């Protein structure tokens, strides 16, 4: 089985700032992987490297069987890899439904459509003709997840999806992520909320100083939560 996404010994930069140092990771079809670590260790730069927003100067990125010499946002999308970005990035002046339809721009076929997203998030159907930026923070995150699903991806990169959200919304998102994964979509979860990681992920990769320094299975227990929290404090 070929990984959906693979980074091998990647060095990535913003200008002269060297952020990722020989980083390697992979996500297999249907897998739920958490990328954890303190703020500033390079987790979001992993996403930006995959999208071509950070400059890769060493190593290799592969989307499925294809080696990508110069990663670009559209290449990731074409290969079924989409991002729910940190900060949600809902498009201003577009309605909820118009934001959802943006996700379908790649034309990939699959089970997700506007009616299916509305089944997953009924509140979005109620607010379908409301400007997307007029939603609450939790509703905007639902919209960002729904927009990603509209691309019918094989892999979703979730960058800090619960940042600033109330615990009840975090609980809802944990349920949704597990439901989506149960339908076969792989997840790479970048998250500081370790209780969410324990509920969703199957294995973790812990980062420090731009590299993966530890990895292993996620133990779905208090012991597993404490182990993950230790890695975040590295």
pLDDT, tens digit, for every residue of 185-209?
999 999 988 889 999 999 999 999 9
Note the pLDDT of residue 107.
82
pLDDT digits (tens, 9 = 90+) for 76-95: 988 999 999 888 889 888 99
Strand order from edge to edge, sheet including 155-159:
81-84, 155-159, 186-190, 32-36, 203-208, 211-217
The yes-or-no verdict on residue 98 having pLDDT over 70 is: yes
Handedness of CA 27, 30, 36, 39 (dihedral sign): positive
- According to DSSP, residue 193 is labeled -
By the 8 A CB rule, do 28 and 3 touch? yes
Thinking of the domain 5-232, which architecture would CATH place it in?
A: 3-Layer(aba) Sandwich (3.40)
Residue 231 binned pLDDT confidence (cut-offs 50, 70, 90): low
Distant-in-sequence, close-in-space partners of 184: CB < 8 Å, separation ≥ 6: 29, 30
């Amino acid at each position: 089985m070929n990984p959906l996404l693979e980074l091998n010994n990647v060095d990535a930069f913003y200008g002269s700032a060297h952020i990722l140092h020989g980083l390697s990771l992979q996500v297999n079809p249907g897998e739920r992987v958490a990328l954890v670590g303190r703020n500033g260790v390079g987790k979001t730069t992993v996403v930006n490297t995959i999208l071509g927003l950070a400059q890769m100067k060493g190593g290799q990125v592969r989307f499925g069987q294809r080696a990508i010499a110069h990663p670009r946002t559209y290449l990731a999308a074409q290969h079924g890899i989409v991002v729910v970005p940190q900060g949600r990035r809902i498009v201003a002046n577009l309605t909820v439904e118009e934001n959802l339809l943006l996700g379908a721009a790649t034309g990939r076929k699959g089970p997700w459509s506007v009616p299916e997203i509305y089944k997953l998030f009924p509140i979005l159907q109620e607010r379908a003709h409301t400007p997307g930026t007029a939603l609450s923070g939790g509703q905007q995150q639902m919209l960002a997840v729904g927009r990603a699903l509209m691309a019918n991806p094989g892999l979703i990169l979730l960058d800090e999806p619960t940042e600033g959200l109330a615990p009840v919304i975090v609980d809802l998102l944990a349920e949704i992520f597990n439901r989506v994964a149960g339908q076969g979509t792989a997840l790479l979860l970048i998250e500081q909320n370790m209780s969410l990681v324990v509920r969703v992920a199957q294995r973790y990769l812990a980062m420090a100083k731009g590299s993966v320094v530890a990895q292993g299975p996620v133990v779905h227990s208090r012991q597993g939560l404490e182990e993950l929290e230790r890695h975040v404090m590295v």
